[in-house]
């Protein structure tokens, strides 16, 4: 096991390097001068030049890149051009928000998707299956931002049931936290629930047709027992690994939803940073998201091997 993990981590290094080059060059190639963009209305040439020097924007590109990478290795991701706040601190403030959103979305998606998938598999090719499939496809097909806008219009503007924006940490004010996050979490969960449902369905179908299930049924076990204790448990494996992957995607994918609901999370931070050319922030976030994604992939793979008794034996 440790050898396996070690090898995977080793392979991750060139990948991370390539990502760092990509995101760095992209930021540098973006038109528009970040200092000018920050300058807003007042423009004092002496100060602008000073700031360019301070942030090493006049150095050759290679130097800038190397000093940035060097900084990362010691944990210094640079500072936000807008507010002088260290990027790592900024990420530390925003990450819990997006994580909370992702967790809520994941829970909702599982609550909706997995039972739906089980039902669809059991009632395969009957009406329930078709309906579930269409609903799942709808969840995948609705543009997130549109669903968000429509929900705001209906629930906040017309009905006034839930606040349209804002954020409260669940540890500070749980009620308000749930109230502000439930709509964006729901919007995010639609696509996830759809994928989970379809995946559960096919995993269940795969298992349902196998020999040991036929044996269980032949033994006389009730359908409920057959489905829940035998089929589902074995179908669980691919479902868990998919969930780990999806969670990793979630961290970077809430961009538009956060924008619409004004949730101060990762996605919103990144978009705002791209538009204000706050390049240290963009770079820092992409690196963090990439590392998170690679870690989640690794966890999913490990889970896959650990949870499958046949594979575990080969370790």
Partner 1 sequence: MTAIEQTAPIAKPRQKSRAWRKMRANRGSMVGMVIIAFFAIIAIAAPILPIADPIATSWSALRKAPSAAHWLGTDDLGRDILSRMIWGARASLMAGVVSVAIAVAIGVPFGLLSGYFGGWVDQVIQRVTEALLAMPFLITAIALAAFLGPSLTNAMIAIGLSAMPVFVRLTRGQVLAVKTEDYVEGARSIGLNHVDIMTRYILPNVFAPIIVQATLTVATAIIAEASLSFLGLGQQAPAPSWGSMLNTAKNFLSQAPWMAMWPGIAIFLVVIGFNLLGDGLRDALDPREA
Partner 2 sequence: MKKFATLTAALLASAIMSLPAMASELRIGLNDDADVLDPAQSRTFVGRIVYTAMCDKLVDISQDMKIIPQLATEWNWSEGGTVLTMKIRDGVKFHDGETLDAAAVVATIERNMTLPESRRKSELSSVAKVEASGPLEVKFTLKSPDVTLLAQLSDRAGMIVAPKAAKELGANFGSKPVCAGPFKFVERIQQDRIVLEKFADYWDKDRILVDKITYLPIPDTTVKLANLRSGDLDIAERISASDAESVKSDPNLTYADVIGPGYMAMYVNLANGPRADNPLGKDKRLRQAFSLAIDREAIGQIVFEGTSLAGNQPFPSSSPWFNKDLPVPARDIEKAKQLMKEAGHETLDIELQHANSTTQTQMMQVIQSMVAEAGFNVTLKATEFATLLSEQTAGNYQLSRSDWSGRIDPDGNLHQFVTCKGGINDVKYCNPEVDKLLNEARTSPDETVRKEKYDAAGVILNDDMPIIYLGHQPYAYAISNKVEGFVPSPDGMMRFLGVSKK
Residues engaged in binding partner 2 (CB under 8 A)? 31-34, 36-47, 50-51, 54, 80, 82-85, 90, 93, 152-153, 156-157, 160, 163-167, 173, 175, 179, 260-262, 264, 268-269, 272, 275-277
- Residue 258's alpha-carbon distances to 40, 144, 165, in angstroms, are 25, 10, 9
Site for partner 1 in 288-307 (CB under 8 A): 289-290, 293-294
Residue 191 makes CB contacts below 8 A (sequence gap 6+) with 139, 140, 144
- Residue 33's alpha-carbon distances to 37, 278, 295, in angstroms, are 6, 10, 34
In whole angstroms, the minimum distance from the beta carbon of 118 to partner 1 comes to 20
In whole angstroms, the minimum distance from the beta carbon of 91 to partner 2 comes to 11
Contact pattern for partner 1 over residues 126 through 165, marking x by CB under 8 A: ----x--xx--xx-xxxxxxxx-xx-xx---x--------
Residue (91 or 226) nearer to partner 2, CB = 91
C-alpha span between 160 and 234 (Å, rounded): 44
Residue (37 or 140) nearer to partner 2, CB = 37
Residue 274 makes CB contacts below 8 A (sequence gap 6+) with 30, 282
Given partner 2, partner 1, none, residue 42, with its beta carbon under 5 to 8 Å by kind, binds partner 2
Residue (90 or 207) nearer to partner 2, CB = 90
Residue (79 or 282) nearer to partner 1, CB = 282
**Which span sits near partner 1 by CB under 8 A: 40-48, 232-240, 248-256, 298-306?**
248-256
C-alpha span between 307 and 310 (Å, rounded): 9
Q: 82 with 227: CB under 8 angstroms?
A: no
In whole angstroms, the minimum distance from the beta carbon of 242 to partner 1 comes to 16
Site size with partner 1, rule: CB under 8 A: 50
Residue (230 or 277) nearer to partner 2, CB = 277
Q: How many helices (H) and strands (E) does the chain have?
A: 15, 0
Nearest to 196, CA basis, from 188, 64, 311: 188
Q: 56 with 253: CB under 8 angstroms?
A: no
- Residue 76's alpha-carbon distances to 27, 55, 80, 252, in angstroms, are 18, 14, 12, 21
C-alpha span between 104 and 280 (Å, rounded): 29
210 near partner 1, judged by CB under 8 A:
no
- Binding test (CB under 8 A) with partner 1, winner from 238, 246, 270, 280: 270
Could you list the residues that contact partner 1 (CB under 8 A)? 11, 14-16, 18-19, 22-23, 26-27, 29-31, 130, 133-134, 137-138, 140-147, 149-150, 152-153, 157, 249, 251-253, 255-256, 259-260, 270-271, 274-275, 282, 285-286, 289-290, 293-294
């Amino acid at each position: 096991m440790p050898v396996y993990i070690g090898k995977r981590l080793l392979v991750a290094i060139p990948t991370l390097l390539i990502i760092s080059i990509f995101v760095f060059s992209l930021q540098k190639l973006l038109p528009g001068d970040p200092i000018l963009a920050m300058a807003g209305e007042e423009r004092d040439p002496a100060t602008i030049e000073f700031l360019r020097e301070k942030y090493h924007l006049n150095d050759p590109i290679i130097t800038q890149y190397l000093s940035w990478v060097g900084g990362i290795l010691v944990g210094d991701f640079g500072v936000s051009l807008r507010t002088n706040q260290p990027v790592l601190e900024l990420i530390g403030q925003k990450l819990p928000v997006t994580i909370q959103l992702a967790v809520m979305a994941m829970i909702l998606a599982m609550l909706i998707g997995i039972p739906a998938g089980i039902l669809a598999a059991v009632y395969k090719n009957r009406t329930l299956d078709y309906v579930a499939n269409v609903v799942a496809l709808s969840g995948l097909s609705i543009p997130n931002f549109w669903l968000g806008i429509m929900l705001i219009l209906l629930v906040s503007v017309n009905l006034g049931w839930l606040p349209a924006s804002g954020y409260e940490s669940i540890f500070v004010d749980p009620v308000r936290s749930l109230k502000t996050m439930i709509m964006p979490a729901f919007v995010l969960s639609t696509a996830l629930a759809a994928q989970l449902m379809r995946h559960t369905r096919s995993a269940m179908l795969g298992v349902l047709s196998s020999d040991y299930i036929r044996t269980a049924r032949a033994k006389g076990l009730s359908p409920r027992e057959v489905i829940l204790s035998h089929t589902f448990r074995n179908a669980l494996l691919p479902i868990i690994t998919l969930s780990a992957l999806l969670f990793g995607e979630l961290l970077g994918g809430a961009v538009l939803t956060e924008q619409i609901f004004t949730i101060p999370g990762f996605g919103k931070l990144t978009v705002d940073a791209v538009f204000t050319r706050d390049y240290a922030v963009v770079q820092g976030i992409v690196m963090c998201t990439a590392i998170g994604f690679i870690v989640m992939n690794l966890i999913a793979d490990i889970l896959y091997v650990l949870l499958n008794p046949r594979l575990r034996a080969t370790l």
